[in-house]
Homo-oligomer: A and B are copies of this chain.
Amino acid sequence: MGDPGLSKLQFAPFNSALDVGFWHELTQKKLNEYRLDETPKDIKGYYYNGDSAGLPTRLTLEFSAFDMSAPTPARCCPAMGTLYNTNTLEAFKTADKKLLLEQSANEIWEAIKSGAALENPMLLNKFLLLTFADLKKYHFYYWFCCPALCLPESIPLIQGPVGLDQRLSPKQIQALEHAYDDLCQAEGVTALPYFLIKYDDNTVLVSLLKHYSDFFQGQRTKITVGVYDPCNLAQYPGWPLRNFLVLAAHRWSGSFQSVEVLCFRDRTMQGARDVAHSIIFEVKLPEMAFSPDCPKAVGWEKNQKGGMGPRMVNLSGCMDPKRLAESSVDLNLKLMCWRLVPTLDLDKVVSVKCLLLGAGTLGCNVARTLMGWGVRHVTFVDNAKISYSNPVRQPLYEFEDCLGGGRPKALAAAERLQKIFPGVNASGFNMSIPMPGHPVNFSGVTLEQARRDVERLEQLIESHDVIFLLMDTRESRWLPAVIAASKRKLVINAALGFDTFVVMRHGLKKPKQQGAGDLCPSHLAAPADLGSSLFANIPGYKLGCYFCNDVVAPGDSTRDRTLDQQCTVSRPGLAVIAGALAVELMVSVLQHPEGGYAVASSSDDRMNEPPTSLGLVPHQVLDQYEREGFAFLSKVFNSSHSFLEDLTGLTLLHQETQAAEIWDMSDEETV
């Protein structure tokens, strides 16, 4: 740009000022909107001509940069830009920056040649932003560019820069202020990036570029223009002047020899407006009228080391760690939607409220996988304390939790979730679930306590969306299965053997108002209409529950068990697998448009056992529960198997089966 010194004009380049809000908004756009789309995006920045001396010339991008209709801050000048956000660091590094610059320069040149820039001077003042957002590390790579067309030669200063107050009288300056303000107001803009000026001792006039022909009529060898100048150096104009001088040279060098430039700077000092520190100078207009070729261009910003290279900002340190954790957790999930499962409705998963009945091996593993899916609301129910054998298999507990008799599992589990991810809403209830065959007046459990436990369980089930049955006995699943069926909550059930497990969802009864609500899911299919559905898929409301396929009612299974017959004797990997599958099952069901009413995909194994002879249990049970409530329940708790088996017809079934067997034998003998 010529030799240093006053004889040749030099320009202070823009410094990109990319606000944290800008990066945050880019993150959101990338995650939720752009995803893999790499096409250029329109963005908007602004610059200001009122900075205190010493501040660098900045072009600012903030959170509003992506909203082209967002208002520009008062007295600031907007600048339009193009965002090139790459999908990979590789693409960022290998982007053809020369080409991008040339393309942009050409657009500016075309706008100058066509006169479009006279109509809309903002076309002279464009910027490019090449970015790669590493959303995992919160590292943002970027390279900023304000394309400036280069004049064919350096620009000789005819009259060096002086303060405006050395050229104009205070009165003239005041007139300039008014004229500028009036024009802004008339145009409805916050600032005019470029404007024309005419002044004499008495008047100061300003005008839009497009009116140059009329406005400059009668001018001789010299014209005066104004530029909204973000620079505050006394000797140099800022970057926006460059393309304007090219326009001036191209458009007016045939008619005028020189141009006087007012670098309009407009600050508030000690409460008073001050434009007197604006600078003014005169340069010779280079001869380039009607030149056809786009001049070469410059504009890529230097990096912090002063070399040509990209910059990187690491925002992981300056963000609130908890918010950072939240968005990081979301990230992994949202990435699934970009290409692999674009139809995945994450909200359905993230917003689901899960009640985990049991905070043991299964409960801990289910909770872990729920966290992985971004589920934010997890409640534990358990009455046990953490024992020394737990932490190696129950991945929410540690050795210290076992000391002093052990902490209550439900509370410790909820606390641990918070430690893993502070954004989770986790709570724990240290309570027992009343069970069939476990008398409620036994071992200190009073009837009143059992009633309170039932009520609390009913409330908990009511206030959650999905109920996980993850206990260590069969019978403890009974009461929540009944309540959840009555309340139409999705039930996911997981249970372990030594090297076998079951993970299932319970059928979801049709809503009560549809009139079919009083029947057990698996009982809605009367024998008559089974024929047609035998090899068809089973709709969710016809699916049974954990007890439907069983011919023994739940009772006390913990009595008289040896140590190795208890729940913990299981291949250690099994609970992990079952827990994960239970959550994946929930997610899959939630993604189905019909949710818990989703049809079960057909399977020969399942279909070979038509639901006729099965599932006699819950129907009558649910009837009784909904009619008699706790009075019925307390009978169940205090009775052995036989009460439920009588009620549900299993006793009769057993008798019939025995009778059938006897008949068969005698039949054979008499043949």
Contacts and interface: CB of A to CB of B under 8 A. Distances in A.
Contacts of A87: 562-563
A573 B583 contact: yes
A580 B577 contact: yes
Given A90-B560, A387-B328, A388-B321, A580 B573 contact: yes
15 contacts: A35-B564, A91-B560, A322-B399, A325-B388, A325-B391, A328-B387, A332-B568, A335-B569, A338-B564, A339-B565, A340-B569, A369-B573, A371-B391, A372-B393, A392-B420
Interface in A189-247: none
A207 B639 CA distance: 65
B329 A389 contact: yes
A498 interface: yes
Interface stretch (A67-75, A400-408, A455-463, A527-535): A400-408
Interface in A70-119: 87-88, 90-91
Interface centre among A35, A400, A572 (most CB of B within 10 A): A572
Given A321-B402, A399-B420, A576-B579, 12 more contacts: A88-B561, A88-B562, A90-B559, A325-B399, A328-B387, A331-B389, A336-B569, A338-B562, A369-B576, A573-B580, A573-B581, A580-B580
A348 interface: no
Contacts of A134: 563
A157 interface: no
Contacts of A422: 399
Interface centre among A316, A338, A580 (most CB of B within 10 A): A580
Interface centre among A36, A88, A368, A566 (most CB of B within 10 A): A368
A87 B566 CA distance: 12
Interface string A300-334: 00000000000000001100011011011101100
A571 interface: yes
Contacts of A393: 332, 371-372
B388 A329 contact: yes
A584 interface: yes
B391 A136 contact: no
A363 to B, nearest CB: 14
B371 A336 contact: no
A66 interface: no
Contact of A560 (B88, B328, B331, B373): B88
A206 to B, nearest CB: 50
Nearest to A336: B569
A596 interface: no
Interface string A387-426: 1110111010111101101000000000000011110000
Given A340-B569, A389-B329, A365 B560 contact: no
A564 B399 contact: no
Given A389-B136, A389-B331, A576-B577, A571 B584 contact: yes
A554 interface: no
A296 interface: no
